[in-house]
């Protein structure tokens, strides 16, 4: 299928293979020399460079731990005003496999911010498989607004559109979000991958697993998302969704809701502040059959919009499901939901004249009655501020 997307054009009569470093000293040099449809093969080694691809080609390493693109010094913007270790843009159709992408950047984010390990923008399409994106951090490791992301597809900040099919990929040790997709027309498929924040709990950061918003379309299935925490802003991180931030394995981002065909299913969420954070979600998309274990605060948060949790399984943690109403009446409907080992299976939180409720439909596991907790009137929910702050 990909061959049809990568026709040979220009001076090359048929696709050629360009070798790095035996023929070209750097990956970017080979990319620059390639014609559409060519393949760039990179031998084992660490390549200290940024790579920008704006033509149809294939880029293959010798293994995601054997061939690595490493953050150079200095780091420079290469996708608009943003710096990425690999940027795919200009409407190109690109396949990357068996390759690693790694930081850290040797400077603080105020000096050389690393926006993303991989950034797909400008209407480009990326097929990414058997790859690794790691250490997307600055020195020292710290929270950097909008930066430190693993893979960005499209952009909320610029309105850029991108497309990606991501399979068997590891994204580890980042200070932003492992995978984001934004902007109407953006599409992303993520399967059989590992997203692991790997952040020291004492480090002041605010990470996220998967964030989809602003009318982007996503299919996120059979992945494992681990260890996303909000340790930033001192007391601004904590268990109260109305006035504090929580990091989630999956959350809907700013702007319009995700596209209606978005599906989040058959994933495992382990040790995050929250497994699911569905803010003003209004049943926009299908979220079903995920397993959430040992969350720091909540298995699932449903805030300011009616949403159905469909055959979710939540194990352990302080609270299984919380419904929060501070900007709109909110009902969380539990359809076939199983909650085991949570200290408080369900909870509701009302404010400002709005009411939260949790409703079981036949087939749900037994859950306890919710406890209500109010907060001072007139305070905006923290989640809307948080996702806007981090959006790519």
Q: What is the DSSP string of 309-354?
A: EES-EEESSSEEEEEEESSS-EEEEEES-EEES-SEEEEEEEBTTB
pLDDT the model gives residue 105: 94
- With 50 as the cut, is the pLDDT of residue 169 above it? yes
**pLDDT > 70: what percent of the chain?**
88
HSE toward the beta carbon, residue 260, CA cutoff 13 A = 0
Instruction: Give the closest residue to 166 by CA, choosing from 123, 134, 129, 136.
Output: 129
- Contact between 180 and 149 (Cβ < 8 Å): yes
Identify which of 177, 152, 178 has the alpha carbon closest to the alpha carbon of residue 79: 152
The angle formed by the CA atoms of residues 47, 51 and 53, to the nearest 5 degrees, is: 145
CA 48 to chain centre: 25
CB atoms within 10 A of CB 349: 23
User: Can you tell me the distance from the alpha carbon of 45 to that of 66, in angstroms, rounded to the nearest whole number?
Assistant: 6
Q: Report the alpha-carbon distance of residue 271 to residue 375 in Å, rounded.
A: 27
pLDDT at 376 over 50: no
Please state the rounded mean pLDDT for residues 291-305.
97
Q: Residue 11 pLDDT more than 70?
A: no
Band (pLDDT 50/70/90 cuts) for residue 366 is very low
Q: Which helix (H) or strand (E) holds 358?
A: strand 356-361
Give the span between the Cα atoms of 151 and 392, in whole angstroms: 10
H/E stretch holding 27 reads: helix 27-33
Residue 4 clears pLDDT 70, i.e. is over it:
no
pLDDT band at 390; cut points 50, 70, 90: low
Please give the model's pTM, rounded to 2 decimal places. Answer: 0.90
Q: How does the average pLDDT of the chain come out, rounded?
A: 90
Mean per-residue pLDDT for 283-307? 96
Q: Is 234 left (phi over 0), alpha (psi -120 to 50) or beta?
A: left
C-alpha–C-alpha distance, residues 118 and 131, integer Å: 11
Report the pLDDT value the prediction gives residue 379, as an integer from 0 to 100. Answer: 36
Q: Among 208, 126, 132, which Cα is nearest to 172's?
A: 132
Average pLDDT for 41-65: 98
The set of residues, in sequence order, having a beta carbon less than 8 Å from that of 13 and lying 6+ positions away, is none
Residue 314, CA distances (Å) to 147, 240, 251, 301, 365 in order: 31, 19, 16, 12, 11
> How sure is the predictor about 144, in pLDDT bands with cuts at 50, 70 and 90?
confident
Contacts of 389 (CB under 8 A, 6+ apart): 145, 146, 206
pLDDT band at 109 (very low <50, low <70, confident <90, very high): confident
Q: What is the pLDDT of residues 233-257, one digit of tens each?
A: 667 899 999 999 999 999 998 888 9
């Amino acid at each position: 299928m990909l061959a049809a997307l990568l026709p040979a054009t220009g001076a090359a009569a048929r696709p050629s293979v360009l070798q790095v470093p035996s023929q070209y000293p750097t990956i970017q040099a080979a990319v620059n020399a390639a014609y559409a449809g060519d393949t760039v093969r990179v031998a084992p080694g660490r390549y200290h460079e940024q790579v920008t691809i704006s033509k149809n080609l294939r880029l293959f390493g010798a293994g995601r731990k054997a061939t690595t693109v490493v953050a150079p010094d200095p780091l420079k913007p290469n996708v608009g005003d943003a710096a990425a270790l690999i940027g795919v843009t200009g409407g190109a159709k690109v396949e990357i496999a068996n390759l690693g992408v790694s930081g850290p950047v040797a400077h603080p984010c105020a000096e050389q911010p690393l926006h993303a390990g991989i950034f797909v923008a400008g209407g480009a399409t990326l097929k990414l498989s058997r790859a690794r994106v790691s250490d997307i951090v600055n020195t020292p490791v710290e929270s950097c607004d909008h930066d430190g992301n693993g893979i960005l597809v499209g952009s909320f900040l610029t309105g850029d559109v991108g497309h990606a099919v991501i399979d068997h990929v590891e994204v580890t040790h980042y200070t932003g979000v492992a995978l984001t997709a934004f902007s109407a027309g953006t599409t992303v498929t993520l399967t059989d991958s590992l997203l692991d924040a790997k952040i020291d709990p004492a480090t002041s950061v605010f990470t996220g697993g998967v964030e989809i918003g602003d009318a982007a379309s996503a299919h996120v299935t059979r992945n494992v998302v681990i260890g996303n925490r909000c340790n930033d802003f001192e007391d601004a991180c904590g268990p109260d969704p109305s006035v504090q931030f929580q990091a989630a394995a999956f959350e809907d981002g700013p702007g319009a809701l995700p596209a209606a065909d978005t599906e989040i299913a058959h994933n495992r969420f382990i040790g995050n502040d929250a497994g699911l954070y569905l803010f003003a979600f209004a049943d926009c998309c299908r979220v079903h059959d995920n397993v959430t274990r040992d969350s720091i605060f909540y298995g699932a948060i449903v805030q300011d919009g009616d949403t159905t949790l469909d055959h979710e399984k939540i194990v352990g943690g302080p609270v299984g499901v919380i419904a929060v109403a501070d900007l709109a009446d909110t009902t969380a409907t539990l359809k076939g939901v199983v909650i085991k080992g949570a200290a408080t299976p369900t909870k509701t939180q009302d404010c400002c004249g709005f009411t939260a409720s949790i409703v079981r439909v036949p087939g749900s596991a037994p859950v306890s009655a919710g406890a209500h907790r109010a907060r001072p009137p007139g305070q905006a929910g923290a989640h809307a501020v948080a996702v806007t702050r981090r959006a790519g």
